[in-house]
Chains A and B, each alone.
Chain A
């Protein structure tokens, strides 16, 4: 089955620790995205990547880092510099280019304890 897989579904982090969220897709999509969603809020773009080895900052990139070494994978690291990391994190992918749709993984719910 083709799809987008995010892991883990739930993640707990101690303050001051870095943590990496996984996003893998087997749809052969070029573009991949990371969003953050806070309770009752919309999706805010953290980073996106249009092709392998390239990525751009979104609106709230501070405190986050990404890599795109393989087409299938776009991991997101939440660093200790992110002051309020508790949120629902969503990864999406798209074929890329104009007039193409994006599809989402299940999401990872990160809680700082």
Chain B
């Protein structure tokens, strides 16, 4: 079982729609969860962090965490073509190592104008 799993996509949504990205993780001891956006050929950019169960909103982005079910999701409202990128889920504290930061393989999002 992979430590952090994401659907590779591509996930295609029309402009203005809500994009929903999902991630599951295997280590129940993980404490910190992150979403990064990566444009082709560029380095990842942090867009959201979440540490406790529930929802966290920042502009058009909402991160959701459910530790009991071991999943974290990212919602992007009013999707724009500029949101087209690969979204990487990352989990910290894997295997009891506080600073070990593990990434999923990423979901490619395509927003159609």
Contacts and interface: CB of A to CB of B under 8 A. Distances in A.
Nearest to B50: A99
Contact of B106 (A42, A97, A105): A42
Given A42-B105, A107-B43, A97 B99 contact: yes
B51 to A, nearest CB: 5
Interface residues of B, number: 25
Interface stretch (A14-22, A43-51, A66-74, A78-86): A43-51
A50 B31 contact: no
Given A41-B105, A101-B34, A48 B100 contact: yes
Contacts of A90: 43-44
Contacts of A92: 101
B36 to A, nearest CB: 8
Contact of B100 (A43, A56, A97): A56
Contacts, number: 66
B100 A101 contact: no
Interface of B: 6, 31-32, 34, 42-46, 49, 51, 88, 90, 92-93, 97-106
Interface of A: 31, 33, 35, 41-45, 48, 50, 56, 58-59, 90, 92, 94, 96-107
Q: Shortest 7 CB-CB distances between A and B: which pairs?
A: A42-B105, A43-B103, A104-B43, A31-B99, A107-B43, A50-B99, A98-B31
27 contacts: A35-B103, A42-B88, A42-B104, A42-B105, A44-B103, A48-B101, A56-B100, A58-B100, A59-B102, A90-B44, A96-B98, A97-B98, A97-B99, A98-B31, A98-B32, A98-B51, A98-B92, A99-B51, A101-B46, A102-B34, A102-B46, A102-B90, A102-B101, A104-B43, A104-B45, A106-B42, A107-B42
